[in-house]
Amino acid sequence: MTKLEKQILLVSIFATTITGILVYLLREWGNVETLLGPEANPFLTHAQGLHYLFTPFFILSISLIFKQHVYEKIQSSEKRRISGFTMVSLYLMIIVSGQILLYITEVNFTYYARYAHLLLGSWFALTFLRHLVLRFS
Partner 1 sequence: MELLTYILLIFFSLQVKASEDPILRLEFFQKHEDCIIERKYIYLDREIKTIYEREINQAFESSIIKRYQMNCLGQISKVYILSDRVRSHYQTLLIQISKERIQVLEVLKFSEPQKYQAPKSWYHKFVTRSDSEIFNIDAVTGATLTRYSTMRMAKKALFLESKNL
Closest approach of partner 1 to the CB of residue 81, in Å: 39
- 48 versus 122: smaller Cβ distance to partner 1: 48
Closest approach of partner 1 to the CB of residue 47, in Å: 10
Footprint of partner 1 on this chain (CB under 8 A)?
27, 35-40, 44-45, 48, 105, 107
- 28 versus 72: smaller Cβ distance to partner 1: 28
Residue 101 DSSP SS3: helix
- 11 versus 118: smaller Cβ distance to partner 1: 118
Q: Give 116-123 contacts, CB < 8 A, sequence gap 24+.
A: 118/20, 118/24, 120/90, 120/93, 120/94, 121/16, 121/17, 121/20, 121/94, 123/90
Closest approach of partner 1 to the CB of residue 21, in Å: 16
Q: How far is residue 130's CA from residue 6's CA, in Å, rounded to a whole number?
A: 16
Contact 95, 59 (CB under 8 A): yes
Residue 35 DSSP SS3: coil
**Which of 25, 29, 17 minimizes the C-alpha distance to 94?**
17
- 40 versus 129: smaller Cβ distance to partner 1: 40
